[in-house]
Amino acid sequence: MITVVSGLPRSGTSMMMRMLEAGGVPVLTDEKREADEDNLRGYYEDERVKQLKDDASWITEADGKAVKVISYLLRYLPEGHSYKVIFMDRRIPEVLASQKKMMKRRSEPVDEVPDDVMAGIFKRHLAEIDEWLGEQPDIETIHVSYNETLDDPEASAERVAAFLGGGPDIEKMMQVVDPKLYRQRR
């Protein structure tokens, strides 16, 4: 079984990966993308995920571990494995604000698409991927709210631990949730 942490970019996936790691779940990460001002505790990514569409052979390394896969790439998870997807949900205006802040900080061009248009695109994508996830026989999914996790880390940790069969240490998972890192409130 492979645990997949997914969601839109800037939706709390790194926080969930930290929670899982603290709770005792091994994580698959290449540690190439270091912590920075936008993710003070690190990104918990594996660059090979970006090539999932063209090469998924490495996914076997994630057996028994957690790996972060952005929602747009979930469709490329190869068959023949059992997946438990922890899908992070965050208020879309916060996702948009966080993305803009990160792009500005990196001196990258900020998308010219108005927020209401981007919000519509994100909402359609989330509805489509949720429907797709529900149709996959080898994928179980739980939705976890980033916002609710910050408000009540114990409840989220308990839900995730139960979803994963009760293995992760709930107390340790809760300890890594830091509401001070919640900066793009909307």
Q: What structural domains does the chain harbor?
A: 2-90+137-178 (3.40.50.300)
Phi-psi region of 166 (alpha: psi -120 to 50; beta: other; left: phi over 0): left
Q: What is the reported pLDDT for 172?
A: 94
Contact assessment for residue 181 and residue 41, using Cβ atoms and an 8 Å cutoff: yes
pTM of structure = 0.85
Q: What is the reported pLDDT for 34?
A: 60
∠ CA 69-141-27, rounded to 5°: 40
User: pLDDT tens digits for 36-80?
Assistant: 455 555 557 788 888 899 999 999 999 999 999 999 999 999 999
pLDDT tier for residue 179 given thresholds of 50, 70 and 90: low
Give the C-alpha separation, 104 to 24, whole Å: 35
User: pLDDT tens digits for 109-158?
Assistant: 666 777 788 889 889 999 999 999 999 999 999 999 999 999 899 999 99
**CA 58 vs CA 36, 39, 49, 152: distances in Å:** 27, 26, 9, 35
| DSSP summary character for residue 74 | G
pLDDT tier for residue 185 given thresholds of 50, 70 and 90: very low
User: pLDDT tens digits for 78-119?
Assistant: 999 999 999 999 988 887 876 666 655 555 566 677 778 888
Helices (H), the chain: 13-22, 92-105, 115-135, 146-151, 153-163, 170-175
